[in-house]
Amino acid sequence: MPKGGWQEFSSDASLQRPAAAASEPVPKAQQVVRVQSTRGGKGGKTVTLIRGLELDGAGFKALLKKLKTRIGSGGTAKDGVIELQGDQVDLALELLANEGYRPKRAGG
C-alpha cells in the first residue's frame, strides 16, 4: 500500500464526470442565474455578481463583453462568476433576459 493510506477515489476514472452530462449543454432558459449586488470583500465598492451561468471560457468572455458594453461599466469573470462594477442589478437582469436566460434577483 502506498504511503498516504486509503486511496478509494484517487483513480482518474473516479474523478471524471459522466460523458453524457458533459456533452449536452444546459439550455439558457433552464439555467438558474442569480444576480446580486454586494460590497463584501471589495474595499467598500459595490459590485454586481452574476452566478449560475453554465458557459465555457469563450462564452463567459463574450457575455461579459456584451454586458460591459451595454451597461457602460467595467467588469471581470472569475471562477464562473461575472463581476460588474457598480450596482447594475436591474440592467443586468434586463440584459440577461434579452439574451434568453431566466435571471432572478438574489440577496434582497
pLDDT digits (tens, 9 = 90+) for 17-36: 555 445 566 777 777 889 99
Task: Using a pLDDT cut of 90, give the percent of the chain over it.
Answer: 24
* Per-residue confidence (pLDDT) for residue 69, from 0 to 100: 92
- CATH homologous superfamily of 25-105: SUI1-like domain (3.30.780.10)
- Report DSSP letters for 16-67, one per residue: SPPHHHHHSPPPGGGSEEEEEEE-TTTTT--EEEEE-----HHHHHHHHHHH
Instruction: Judge if pTM exceeds 0.75.
Output: no
Query: Is residue 94 scored above 60 in pLDDT?
Result: yes
Cell 455578481, residue located: 49
Q: CA dist 73 to 9, 32, 41, 56, 62, Å?
A: 44, 24, 19, 23, 15
